[in-house]
């Protein structure tokens, strides 16, 4: 699968997640690096910012999920 298609699938998948799912995936991100955000910090972010963080993590890690 080419990188553009992979990006589109990842972005579409993240866009479909609700707030709690996004927070859970950020808190349990399994990539080459660890995301270390407190629950309180994540609670204060809007849903678009949560999506941005998760998508950026996937892009940076070169990960598809």
Q: What is the DSSP string of the chain?
A: --HHHHHHHHHHHHHT--HHHHHHHHHT--SSS-----HHHHHTS-HHHHHHHHHHHHHHHT---
Domain range for residue 31? 3-61
Nearest alpha-carbon partner for 59 in 33, 20, 23:
33
Model pLDDT for residues 17-61, shown as the tens digit of each residue: 999 999 999 999 998 899 999 999 999 999 999 999 999 999 998
Query: Total structural domains in the chain?
Result: 1
pTM of the model: 0.87
Angle at alpha carbon of residue 36, lines to 44 and 19, rounded to 5°: 40
């Amino acid at each position: 699968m080419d990188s553009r298609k992979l990006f589109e699938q990842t972005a579409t998948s993240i866009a479909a997640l609700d707030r709690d799912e996004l927070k859970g995936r950020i808190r349990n991100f399994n990539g080459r690096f660890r995301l270390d955000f407190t629950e309180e910090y994540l609670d204060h972010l809007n849903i678009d910012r949560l999506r941005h963080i998760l998508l950026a993590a996937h892009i940076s890690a070169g990960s598809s999920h």
